[in-house]
Structure 1
Amino acid sequence: MKHDRILSNAGSPMFPDFLDWAKETGENRDTVYEIEKVATRLDLTQEELDLVPADLGYFEKVIAVSAYGAVSRSKDLDTARKRGNSRVRSALQRFLAVRGHETPDVGVRASYDKAIQFIMENEGFVDSGALFTTSTHRPLLLVRARARVGLPDLDQGEFDRLWHDATPDSRKSLRKFAQRIAELRRGHNSWPELADLLPPLDFVVPVASDRARRIKWKSLPASFRADAVEVFRQTLRQPADLKAWAKEQQRLGRPAVEVDAEVAARRGKKKKLPKNLESALAGYRQSTTWLLRESYSPDTGFAGLGTLRELITTDALEAACDAQIARSAASPTLKDADKSSVLWSRFTNLTTIARHGLRDPEVLARISLVRMFYADYVLSPIEMTADAEAICNRLRKAPHLAAAFVNAPSRLGVISTEALQTATTTFAQERALRLAACAAAYAVQVSRALRPANLFMIRRKATDGCPRNLTWIVDGQHAEIKFVGGEVKNGQAVTVNVHGEDARILWEWDRVHRTDLMQLRGIPSSPYLFPGTAAPRLRKSFLNLPSGCMSVASIMELWDLGDRQLGLGLSPHQCRHALATLMLAVRPGDFASVASVLANTDQVARRHYGKDSGEAAAVAVRESLLAQHPDIFARMNRRT
């Protein structure tokens, strides 16, 4: 477990110490209850709470963002989670203050309160005379809750600490906070009331500490890129290329026996060619920059960088592996290094390059040896069943979550409708429309859970060289979504049929709310069901995929907004595990149906869901659901 590796500081207070203190000092009963819920939120037993540090940074990064649906059945889970987090956070600050740790005091908050109050009183429509646009104050709320110093005393060091302890979502607020402070400081003549309340300097947003330094391919020396591109071209050589080369060699008069032998050598023992050349090329580039990252520092640049062959050394490979493992160990949000497929992906790409591009036995042997050295961390994606097991266990322990998953589209649809009716600001209207988008995405996922790359590439309109794949068989009642084999990860064609209430929700998004969101966000046009301004990350070689889709960051932000209302703690991909578990609850042991619905093989379905943690969990889910929701299986049978 991640907890075992990062929470072993014996000198730091742990959550049992915090819980005991809360009970002994007479903390509010609701606060004690929220502290006791932390174990369940992290899928731990009460006895395992000694693995969790009583640390504000860890609380914000791991506990505060954990799923809340397993510990609450509130109709407004987002508000309930915020209220529960606030109680635990405030008590944790008091606990740490008693133990001599620095925590915010009333005076610290007061300095933020004055600035926030002034900004809120002057927010609105600037065209109508307001000093600030709506929600200008919001980033200051997060800093007020977590800073240890007052707003006028906030410096770069404290900002860096807040950034280090923040979640990705909170870092967006901190980035906005830095922008707001810069804007407010520049306008001090216009708003003299704020002049003495602001920090003396602007803030520099630091690079995320748990993410690798990004190296842009275009920043590499031109000579190195040219060499690498030629190696990649040889690696991806297609049968047509070999045919053309062989014909050319024969035309030049070379003996057929020589040409045939060289063709055999170039073809090697490659079992299959990549179906998406752009995706394969992106993987080769990523593996190359992964090696470069630890071999060359940003200070020295890429001086002395020669060829790709010279780059692949034993030292470079070991340094890259050590850095990858260290990043995982240092971060509570990244996967354990021995439960991630990153090293498998890197070694697979480098092996392919060495075997078919460089055709160098020495380089191939180096890669093979280093791969053996780090074998414990080279995990193939087909071995990664931890996600599936975690979802199965969560549904077994809290079967009401299964009902929440099945009813997610209608639940989000109701919430978004109510939010649209009461929205009085542009911010509130946009939030409600994004909830409607998430409801539509769930309408597809509970019908036939797609891989995220397919879900958010649904096209409602054809473009040049790219057909649409959403068709309304009956308006508002039956939608059909088709993906040809080349669009799907494993090459299987997939058809999704959305019926009934889910179809109505999808129709309302497609024909009403989608246009409203595009107008609100200034998106001129998009062929995608979920529109944006980004270009697809990995284009399909046989499809001319257009721009206008949502970026990965926007997708995750959208999904997180919906999940906060549901409390499921599921990512778009994890919906596949949830649907598989429920299908096995309806028909225990029917792995063929699971494989068919998820567009997988029977072997994959059995590996993920055929263990005790899968099939046994499904049986337990069935029994619990029948007791609590007698009609749920009738709904599930209609879906599958």
Structure 2
Amino acid sequence: MTYHTSQNSTHASKSSASMSALLSWAEEAGEDRYAVLELKKVPARMSYADEELHLISADPVYFETNVAPAPYGMVSRAADLDAARRRGNARLRALIERFWAARGCAQPAQEDRATYTKVIDLVRAHEGFADRGDPLPTSFHKPLLTLRARCLVPFDELDQSEFDRVWGEATTGVRKSLRKIPNLIERLRNGHNLWPEITELLPSCNLVTPPSPGLHRARRILWKDLPEVFRADAERVFERAMVLPCSLKSWAKEQIAAGRPAVDIDKEVAERKRQRGRSPKNAKTATAGYRQAITWLLREQVLPSMDFDELSTLDALFMAEALEAACKSQITRCAASDTLKDADESSTLWSRFTNLMTLARHGLQDPEKVALLNVIKLVYEDYILPPDEMTAEATAVCDRLRKNPHLAATYVHAPSRLHAVARQALAEATTTDGEERALRLFAVAAAYAIQVSRPLRPGNLFTSRISGADKCPRNVHWIEDRAFAEIRFVAGEVKNRNALTVEVVGRDAEILWDWQMVHRPRLAKLRALERSPYLFPGKAMPRLRKAGLRLPTGAMSGAAIGELWDLGDRHLGLGLTPHQCRHATGTLMLAVDPGNFASVASVLANTEAVARAHYAKDSGEAAAAAVREALLAHHPDIFKRLKGRIK
């Protein structure tokens, strides 16, 4: 909840108080010792040192978006980590509320809350089941609980400005509930003959769902919104920049028809190929990158209140003022956001400049614009970070395992642990929602069974196929039921274009079989996904497809993958993304066999140079050595299990 001061409703800035100030106040005020202990766990959850508590904001919105979702495994070894984290977050949330109240920040008045409670009670009285004649479904009132906890005005005085404020300060999960409020109120208003006692308590104005806040996100410019003449000119430049064989063929035919000598045509084709070097392997991906770079550059030149009518040619955008404005805006957004990476830790600027440089050099073929881009790159070189230099994520994972060696044990045993949690959840499920949640836990257990066997990139993991489609065969094969599965990816499906085979054996194979043959069909039926060919079914089109690779619809979307993985991490407390499992495996492999970067590269389907870049630094080697020492002392059986997986 966010609090507002006096009548001005001025939001308490996140920089106005830190967790260190909160701790001092809590100790002086004699606050509950368990709440204070939870507060002292915050630095470890956020990967800070204890002495850096003052760097963490005590702002309630910051808490909900950054602290509350932080993994809990490094500060607790509870059997039910999800329950432990929710309990700890509840204590912290209440402590922060009391802290801001003590500072004079207004809370929702009790009499205002009572107006919501009265409506909630009346609505619940009409809830039930349609086959019994009840007019409203069960749990219809729940979005009102979310609203009651956050609004500073009585329910009948709720207006669009207050709803916008609540929406703008809500997390993604809370907005899912708030999104139902306008339709809920409208349904209650339309049923005035059934419940006149409720109608008279409703807000007088109609509410609309605001757009997602995106406070520090860039203004979106759709390519289709740009003038047709500009898009046509840009597409011609894109085609010239890529120097694709198909475009060269078309150009050569035009030149032959125009009567140009073959010697001259052949000479120019050879020169274009020489200047371009390697052409993009995926024209669609390259075009998407060019468009993103152009809209990024255009964003700071055209205000939201202006239109694009004056745009006609691409080369007019390449100006020093525009490039500097785009860079400064990118850096400012990153610095102001709690969720975006810092500009000097992100490859965004590198990607934008790489695409613009390609267009200037090979598309526009303008040396002056190439020189301009080089000069601007020099000015902002501290923020232009190539992806192969982004080893901070791998270092952070290594450091986390070094400081918390028990997390390594949790990672290795993750499939079995999640499978046990899923079985218990399924046995206790009494509703369809509860059953679906349990089935999704089986899904994430199967995903971990694959990742700890041979960690895949997420794009490969979630496009594993159990049945074939048009020109896209299945790649999950059972060599021995329940005991041995192979997941085979052809060269065109893998990032570095090497064929890849994942072998899932033993207990991991049992978990994968249980998901594919028993629980996946049930989940697919509940969600009407029976036609999906993927091991992890969904409704989306796979992202970032390789050129020539025809993957069918029916995969999980990026958001669905994030939600599924988060569901599992609540019970593991690792704080690892699917991709970070690769870093965890790399660290553990070096703990098993120090210095064997070739083996790490082979398992991760990388080059040895990339493996060394990520794990050969002092931090990576120290992490591996520390993890090895700790695991030998506390979990010696893990090495035997891990060796069995990666041999």
- The answer, yes or no, to whether TM exceeds 0.5 is yes
Distance 2:306 2:173 in 1: 33
1:85 lines up with 2:85 in the alignment: no
Distance 1:437 1:618 in 2: 30
| One-letter amino acid of the structure 1 residue matched with residue 220 of structure 2 | R
The CA deviation at 1:337 is: 0.9
Q: CA 1:396/1:302 → structure 2, altered by over 3 Å: closer, same or farther?
A: same
102-111 or 436-445: which moved more? 102-111
Q: CA 1:122/1:458 → structure 2, altered by over 3 Å: closer, same or farther?
A: farther
Structure 2: which 5+ runs fail to align?
1-11
> Partner residue of 1:204?
209
Q: Secondary structure at the match of 1:472?
A: strand
Q: Secondary structure at the match of 1:392?
A: helix
Q: CA 1:187/1:620 → structure 2, altered by over 3 Å: closer, same or farther?
A: farther
Distance 1:422 1:505 in 2: 20
Q: Is the 8 A contact 2:297 2:323 kept in 1?
A: yes
Q: Is the 8 A contact 1:61 1:165 kept in 2?
A: no
Q: CA 1:135/1:341 → structure 2, altered by over 3 Å: closer, same or farther?
A: farther
Distance 2:418 2:122 in 1: 35
1:33 lines up with 2:46 in the alignment: no
> Partner residue of 2:430?
424
Percent of pairs with identical residues: 58
The CA deviation at 1:318 is: 2.0
Q: Is the 8 A contact 1:178 1:205 kept in 2?
A: no
Among candidates 234, 254, 261, match of residue 260 of structure 2: 254
Deviations 1:99-141 (A, max 9, x none): 1122345445444444444445554443443433344344344
Among candidates 527, 531, 543, match of residue 525 of structure 1: 531
| One-letter amino acid of the structure 2 residue matched with residue 433 of structure 1 | L
> Partner residue of 2:293?
287
Q: CA 1:200/1:574 → structure 2, altered by over 3 Å: closer, same or farther?
A: farther
| One-letter amino acid of the structure 1 residue matched with residue 427 of structure 2 | Q
Q: Is the 8 A contact 2:239 2:247 kept in 1?
A: no
Q: CA 1:420/1:178 → structure 2, altered by over 3 Å: closer, same or farther?
A: farther
Among candidates 26, 31, 36, match of residue 22 of structure 1: 26
| One-letter amino acid of the structure 2 residue matched with residue 97 of structure 1 | A
Q: CA 1:488/1:10 → structure 2, altered by over 3 Å: closer, same or farther?
A: closer
Q: CA 1:497/1:137 → structure 2, altered by over 3 Å: closer, same or farther?
A: farther
The CA deviation at 1:437 is: 1.3
Q: Secondary structure at the match of 1:616?
A: helix
Distance 2:77 2:292 in 1: 43
1:461-540 → structure 2 map (5 Å cutoff): 461-540=467-546
Deviations 1:610-640 (A, max 9, x none): 1121111111111112222121111111111
Distance 2:124 2:388 in 1: 52
Distance 2:177 2:554 in 1: 25
Q: CA 1:619/1:118 → structure 2, altered by over 3 Å: closer, same or farther?
A: farther
Q: Secondary structure at the match of 2:539?
A: strand
> Partner residue of 2:555?
549
The CA deviation at 1:206 is: 3.0
Q: CA 1:182/1:404 → structure 2, altered by over 3 Å: closer, same or farther?
A: farther
> Partner residue of 2:638?
632
Q: Is the 8 A contact 1:112 1:150 kept in 2?
A: yes
Among candidates 13, 16, 32, match of residue 17 of structure 2: 13
Distance 1:9 1:555 in 2: 33
TM-score, normalising length from structure 2? 0.92
Q: Is the 8 A contact 1:125 1:134 kept in 2?
A: yes
Q: Secondary structure at the match of 1:532?
A: coil
Among candidates 75, 79, 99, match of residue 79 of structure 2: 75
Among candidates 100, 116, 119, match of residue 104 of structure 2: 100
> Partner residue of 1:4?
none
1:452 lines up with 2:444 in the alignment: no
> Partner residue of 1:346?
352
Distance 1:289 1:609 in 2: 36
Distance 1:191 1:621 in 2: 64
Q: Secondary structure at the match of 1:541?
A: coil
Q: CA 1:451/1:192 → structure 2, altered by over 3 Å: closer, same or farther?
A: farther
> Partner residue of 2:172?
168
Distance 1:458 1:10 in 2: 43
260-269 or 382-391: which moved more? 260-269
1:320-469 → structure 2 map (5 Å cutoff): 320-469=326-475
| One-letter amino acid of the structure 2 residue matched with residue 92 of structure 1 | I
Q: Is the 8 A contact 2:521 2:530 kept in 1?
A: no
Distance 2:317 2:28 in 1: 61
Among candidates 303, 327, 330, match of residue 297 of structure 1: 303
> Partner residue of 1:59?
63
1:159 lines up with 2:168 in the alignment: no
Q: CA 1:125/1:478 → structure 2, altered by over 3 Å: closer, same or farther?
A: farther
> Partner residue of 2:6?
none
Count of residues paired in the alignment: 633
Among candidates 307, 315, 323, match of residue 309 of structure 1: 315
Distance 1:354 1:183 in 2: 56
Distance 1:624 1:111 in 2: 56
The CA deviation at 1:280 is: 1.3
Q: CA 1:109/1:497 → structure 2, altered by over 3 Å: closer, same or farther?
A: farther
> Partner residue of 1:131?
135
| One-letter amino acid of the structure 1 residue matched with residue 172 of structure 2 | P
Q: CA 1:428/1:262 → structure 2, altered by over 3 Å: closer, same or farther?
A: same
Q: Is the 8 A contact 1:533 1:547 kept in 2?
A: yes
Deviations 1:556-593 (A, max 9, x none): 11111111121111111111111111111111111111
Q: Is the 8 A contact 1:275 1:486 kept in 2?
A: no
Distance 2:612 2:455 in 1: 17
Q: Secondary structure at the match of 1:534?
A: coil
TM-score, normalising length from structure 1? 0.93
Distance 1:411 1:365 in 2: 57
Q: CA 1:590/1:121 → structure 2, altered by over 3 Å: closer, same or farther?
A: farther
Distance 1:588 1:186 in 2: 69
1:541-620 → structure 2 map (5 Å cutoff): 541-620=547-626
The CA deviation at 1:246 is: 3.5
Q: CA 1:220/1:121 → structure 2, altered by over 3 Å: closer, same or farther?
A: same
Distance 2:182 2:610 in 1: 47
